[in-house]
Amino acid sequence: MRRIERHASFGGWQDVYEIDSTALGVPTRVGVYLPPQAAHGRCPVLYWLSGLTCSEQNFIAKAGAQRHAAEHGLILVAPDTSPRGEGVADADGYDIGIGAGFYVDAIQAPWRQHYRMHEYVVHELPAWVEGTFAANDARGISGHSMGGHGALVIALRNPGRYRSVSAFSPIVAPSKVPWGAKVFAAYLGSDRASWNEWDACALAGTAVERLPLLVDQGLDDEFLDSQLQPERLRAACEATGHPLHLRLRPGYDHSYYFIASFMGEHVAHHAAALS
């Protein structure tokens, strides 16, 4: 563990660490915000999963989440979006390879050696956080776009592990849209039936835990119709009675301006569940 950044923020500390990941097989960076309450006792943790092309830096610099986390006493943990470094497989295009881990565990060569983001986020990262900082085992998870997909899928696949989940502009049906189909074919293989294990719409129909889903979607998002398609998630949840609060926001796009506008509401949503 190597701390490579530290910044005072709203009475707490915004740090960035580099840790040696067994799941990913390479060192990886993660942003950790410790609110002032962490100096006096253990705090719940909100995990944030970023989208395509991002690293840990996008969220910690642009979302404005530290202010809200300090108010509610939440630790924020923002991992990178993929493994990086020498020997890590990559490909042409922003939507596959480095920066595009999609929060799945790849089973196809050459991706399977390092692209095990689900294992890393669900098991290895919380074990490190809870063993290193003043963190308890009350966990929430959120994310944006590819990371919104990751948050929904991880919460639905791991009942009892998270007390809350939310997403901004998530890819809700990756097996049905170009971004997901491209990556799933590469990482998971040609068996489309197996892709349902990583698809929020499919998982909502089989989930054994009815954890409420909070989703915000901008109606001026340039990817709304081609890649995101939130109505698919509404239909899947209505068909099975899975609780969903889908908020469609006129005028908002896919950017961090959108995320920052409603981050306070999302942090409050998680704080209510995690307390």
**DSSP 3-state of 234:** helix
Strand order in the sheet with 75-79: 2-9, 12-20, 27-34, 75-79, 43-49, 135-143, 164-168, 213-218, 244-249
Backbone angles phi, psi at 131, to 5 degrees: -90, -10
User: CB of 121 within 8 A of CB of 103?
Assistant: yes
User: CB of 229 within 8 A of CB of 170?
Assistant: no
Residues known to be catalytic? 145, 221, 254
Please state, as a whole number, how many other Cβ atoms lie within 10 Å of the Cβ of residue 148.
Answer: 29
Q: Dump strand ranges (E) for 67-182.
A: 75-79, 135-143, 164-168
> What are the structure tokens assigned to 83, written together?
């493994």
